[in-house]
Chains A and B, each alone.
Chain A
Amino acid sequence: MTNLNSSFSVGMGIITWSLRFGCFLHLFMDEIYEFTETSGESMTPTLQPNGDYAHVLKRYKYGKDLKVGDVIVAVKPTEPHHRVCKRITGLPGDMILIDPSMGSDLNSFDKIGYNGNDKDKDKDKKIGGDKEFDEKLNEYIEYIEKTDKQDIQDKETFKKLELKEYNENKYNSMNRYIIVPEGHCWLTGDNLSQSLDSRSYRPVPMGLIKGKIIAANLIFEPFIKIDEDDKLNVYGFRWIKNNFEDEIYSIE
């Protein structure tokens, strides 16, 4: 009987100690340091698409002490179960030009079917909205008149303003300046052509930042390698540096 009791207590000891240790480890990984796999092409060449493991410091959680140019891990705002690695390229108060190369008239998909005819181009710009848009707009005007009990006297001007906004959103949303709001930051990948980042989901709240990446290991590298400059390198270890250079133009 005593034997059974003691083996029971030993078993309970193992279970509770592993629970306590597991919780400790989890908190450690959550609040202090984490070593985690990264994947995806958005940060090449800083981080490889496969096989790169990042050393993440959690002291920088929620955007504390971060600077422009730091590489961070954050929760994706549109998919909270995914985490992304990006570089901070704007802090609160900074003015950002989103990305004129992405949504410009020149390579917008709507403009490809033109045949290069300038007349057609002008025509399209004037019409701007499609049939669906006009229907929605009429519905919207009706709705406003019903609920706010206010008449929109100048329906044409109202329509023009809405159309202007719609056109701007459709063709020009990427060629715009944005001021990063308080408590947010602007994140972009290093590989701009393969990265889904602030250019599409706009400024990210700093509450979603989970930590700062300070170094990385590439597991495809040999375990121990001697560099060109005779330094020992374990699993392709490298520091990930803040390569941001502030270009200050002095006005003379």
Chain B
Amino acid sequence: MFLRNPYLKSSIKGAGIFISWIPVVLVIDKYFYSVSSVSGSSMQPALNPFLTRKDWIFVNKLSLNDLNNIKVDDVLLIRSPTNPSKIVIKRVKGVQGDVIRTRYPYLRNRCTIPKNHLWLEGDNIRSIDSNTYGPVSTGLVIGRAEKIIYPFDRFGDIPQGGREARLSKLRAIG
């Protein structure tokens, strides 16, 4: 029998142990912490300022177990409402109950956000965001992007960006 070969036996055992840990890694990736690359220009200039290289970001999925933790100006990864096989990255511009002053493609100029929905916009004015498809259910949220990790010269927090969209704050500004 080939299993008598001690090297082969130990390598099969090692492979089995390696395979048995794969589900644990996948669960950590799915529910705890993850790393992801960003493609596209919708979050310029905060992410992908130069389209020649992709940014890599650290994604925290654990802190969103309680969806009340989502705050305005967080950068979130969500499953696209228009194409469920795609994941998009957007910035929160309003949470439930806020009244939003919308931008061009949206049909009305105000929008009140329903319960457990979010208003998401890309920092780039040309991004396809809530102004196209309306408020997004928090059920589609995958995680919060917290740090830029790859171009090491920009290692650290994700810069602020976007505009103020909440009517109450706009009124306060004047």
Contacts and interface: CB of A to CB of B under 8 A. Distances in A.
Interface of A: 17, 19-20, 23-24, 26-27, 30, 62-63, 75-80, 140, 143-144, 147, 181-184, 201, 205-209
Contacts of A30: 30
A183 B84 contact: yes
Given A20-B24, A23-B26, A80-B67, A208 B82 contact: no
Contacts of A140: 110
Nearest to A27: B23
Most A C-beta atoms less than 10 A away, residue of B24, B30, B114: B24
Contacts of A147: 101, 170
Interface string B147-174: 0000000000000000000000011000
A62 B85 contact: yes
Interface residues of B, number: 31
A215 B109 CA distance: 46
A65 B17 CA distance: 36
Given A62-B84, A140-B110, A201-B114, 5 more contacts: A20-B20, A80-B137, A183-B82, A207-B79, A209-B84
B136 to A, nearest CB: 8
A237 B173 CA distance: 63
A140 B112 CA distance: 14
B133 A207 contact: no
Interface in B100-131: 101, 109-110, 114-117
B52 interface: no
8 contacts: A23-B24, A27-B26, A77-B116, A77-B117, A78-B115, A79-B116, A80-B116, A209-B84
B41 interface: no
A232 to B, nearest CB: 35
A140 B171 CA distance: 12
Contacts of A17: 20
Contact of A181 (B82, B141, B170): B82
A181 B133 contact: yes
3 closest residue pairs by CB, A with B:
A207-B79, A80-B139, A62-B84
Nearest to B25: A23
A205 to B, nearest CB: 4
Contacts of A206: 84
A19 B67 CA distance: 26
Contact of B140 (A27, A144, A207): A207
Nearest to A205: B81
A137 to B, nearest CB: 12
Nearest to B171: A143
Contacts of A181: 82, 133
Contacts of B39: none
Given A78-B114, A78-B116, A80-B137, A182 B82 contact: yes
B34 interface: no
Contacts of A76: 139
Contacts of A75: 137, 139
Interface string B18-42: 0011011011001000000000000
